[in-house]
Amino acid sequence: MFFNIPTLLTWARIVAIPLIVGVFYLEGVPPRDQNLIAAIMFVVFALTDWADGYLARRLNQTSAFGAFLDPVADKFLVCACLLVLVHLDRAHVFVALIIIGREIAISALREWMAIIGATKSVAVHMVGKLKTMVQMIAIPFLLFDGWVLGVVDTHLWGTWLIWISAVLTVWSMVYYLQKALPEIKARAR
């Protein structure tokens, strides 16, 4: 279904991208408030990733289009926020290149594996889920870029987590490529 509750939640993540980016261009809004608004928006829209999957199963509204759009929306949201963080000098460009490059490579690999009928060999694995979870914590920490309750330095923690995410990103890419390698070799002959 093109428009149902789960798919609308997925579309909301795509619509969120210019809103989150736009927060940093609001005139008259102090940078601290921009950071808070962007971090809260990211968390709210990131939670729609869990909600759309839950509702699709619960309401029996799963669809091929929703299954396609969901990971695309996630990747757009993460990549856009990474670019904002690089622009704000809160994330290293090397981290962004690793994460964005992996997303492009694995998306292309999954598309090709679908064409040859071997999607199971590149099905989502725990290391990929862990990578996503770490990213989804690191990004709002870096967007917030301050102290929480005077105890948690979100810039420091976000920086560590985004680098850990980059390592997990490479690990997951290697994992998926290893899983696909037998099919790649078979098709190369």
pLDDT tens across 15-41, in order? 999 999 999 999 999 999 999 999 999
Question: pTM higher than 0.75 for the full model?
Answer: yes
Q: Write b or e for each residue in 2-30: b if 16 or more Cβ atoms lie within 10 A of its Cβ, otherwise e.
A: eebebbebbbbbbebbeebeebbeeeeee
Sorting pLDDT into bands at 50, 70 and 90, what band is 189? low
For residue 119, pLDDT over 80 is answered with no
The residue with greater pLDDT, 69 or 134, is 134
Under CATH, what is the fold of the domain 5-188?
Answer: Four Helix Bundle (Hemerythrin (Met), subunit A) (1.20.120)
The domains of the chain are located at 5-188
pLDDT tens across 142-177, in order? 999 999 888 999 999 999 999 999 999 999 999 888
pLDDT tens across 76-104, in order? 999 999 999 999 999 999 999 999 999 99
Task: Report the mean per-residue pLDDT for the chain.
Answer: 88
3-state secondary structure of 154: helix
Task: For residue 60, give Cα distances in angstroms to 11, 12, 66, 74, 143.
Answer: 18, 20, 12, 22, 35
Q: Cα-atom radius of gyration of the chain, to the nearest Å?
A: 18
